[in-house]
Structure 1
Amino acid sequence: MDGAATGGDSGAMRAEGRWGIDLTMPQSLLLALHLRDAARLRPPTSPLLPDLPPLDPAAVPLPTAGGDLTGLEAAGRQWARWWAASFPGGADALTSILPPRFPGLAGMPELRGLAELGMDDAVTWSARAREVERRVLARTPTALFETNLVAEVEHELGRRIRPFQLGVVVLPVQGAHHWDVLGRPVISLGLRADRDGYLAWLRERLVRTGSTPRGRGERTEQP
């Protein structure tokens, strides 16, 4: 299901609702990234689309990958357009890329043709990626560490961090990386699997949040 929380230990609110961390691995983005890799697309990067590494586990190339270069260039541009319209994922984003209608690919004939060829493989691959995710979360639960980290940062600052809800997109790409996509944090599953690395990344965001004065009437927001 699109937007399912990665790890039940990280989706709940902490400290009587003052803050929360919700890590999600949206199904729509998994399917799209598999299509990118399987078709060997090279979409142009943008503030909404960083240069994301290849998937892990890797996608098996489509039989047509690397064939019609002109078509692949057009499909890469169309893919970037779909991503910009669909990020950070959700029910509508998932519906937009699914057969038989592929409503989000209207006016993108090259990309739709590839989706028709590769979507079954993408769905099968995403199930494997979810299993990897499940194993990662079983090995590295972080709820207690997150709670302790918030308390530690608040102690260092000498005050409470303003209330926040942090929605993090997790992607199963190679390596331990993080990005900021127009204010939305994105991390690799590899970073999530590295407890120390993940907590160091989270600490940096918490310190930045705690160092920003909260104005009168300010709403709860992402750090």
Structure 2
Amino acid sequence: MQDVGAWGIDLTMPQSLLLALHLRDAAGLAPPTSPVLPDLPPLDPPVRRLHVEAGLEAASRQWADWWVERFPGGADALTSILPPRYPGLRGRTELRGIAELGMDDAVAWCARVREIEKRVIARSPSALFETNLVSGVERELGWRIRPFDLRILVLPVAGAHAWDVVGQPVISLGLRADRDAYLAWLREQLVAIGRLRIARSEGQNT
């Protein structure tokens, strides 16, 4: 997490969401979208397919329900999808069967993605880039940005994409890896934060 005085930018790739997305792709699930679940592209790197034929429609609905309950991830979300008890999959028989079949592959794939993430971080903008970007946005707006913590979820899906998921910024690892695209996207977030907070301040003073 980059933390400079009154602001912080935290990019995180929750393990629970990685495991869930692996199960989605490995089983060929097609979960219904919702405000909490955008139409996320396939994973990159791609995953090995499981031999699952029955119960895919039910498992897809169960997967979407799990995602809505557990987004944006965290310790409870991770515990809920892990063996041996899979507590978050209780009553979701078809999805639990897929998890039992594919969790070993999912964990191995996640380890591979973590190595890719390390390489991306090594090539990505440093804290200095983000500090300079905040300063530049403040000069553009003409005022200091009020204290904020910006938590950004990063998902290893194909392409360079960004989503606003019920107020939670989500980006693809491909966008994070593209320095210019990432900084352009981050600048938009900082401008929005700066304008929103000054608007709130003015509203409180009227």
Question: Which residue of 47, 59, 68 maps to 2:47?
Answer: 59
Equivalent in the alignment of 1:4: none
Paired residue total: 202
User: What's the CA shift string for 1:33-58, capped at 9, x where partnerless?
Assistant: 00000000000000000000000110
Any gaps of 5 or more consecutive residues in structure 2?
none
Q: Give the SS at the match of 2:157.
A: coil
Equivalent in the alignment of 1:207: 191
Question: Shift of the alpha carbon at 1:156?
Answer: 1.1
Equivalent in the alignment of 2:2: 12
Q: CA RMSD in A?
A: 1.3
Question: Shift of the alpha carbon at 1:119?
Answer: 0.3
Q: 5 Å matches for 1:116-127?
A: 116-127=100-111
Determine the C-alpha separation between the residues in 2 that align with 1:191 and 1:184.
Answer: 16
Equivalent in the alignment of 1:195: 179
CA contact (8 A) 1:142 1:195 kept: no
**Residue 174 (1) aligns with residue 162 (2):** no
Amino acid at match of 1:197: A
Determine the C-alpha separation between the residues in 2 that align with 1:103 and 1:216.
Answer: 47
Percent sequence identity over aligned pairs: 72
Question: Shift of the alpha carbon at 1:217?
Answer: 11
Question: Shift of the alpha carbon at 1:216?
Answer: 7.9
**Residue 90 (1) aligns with residue 74 (2):** yes
User: What's the CA shift string for 1:153-197, capped at 9, x where partnerless?
Assistant: 101111101111000000000000000000000000000000110
Question: Shift of the alpha carbon at 1:141?
Answer: 3.4
Question: Shift of the alpha carbon at 1:12?
Answer: 3.0
User: What's the CA shift string for 1:130-151, capped at 9, x where partnerless?
Assistant: 0010111111133111100000
| TM-score computed with the length of structure 2 as normaliser | 0.95
Equivalent in the alignment of 1:49: 37
Equivalent in the alignment of 2:15: 27
Amino acid at match of 2:201: G
Higher helix proportion? 2
Question: Shift of the alpha carbon at 1:215?
Answer: 2.5
User: What's the CA shift string for 1:86-141, capped at 9, x where partnerless?
Assistant: 00001110000000100000110000000000000000000000001011111113
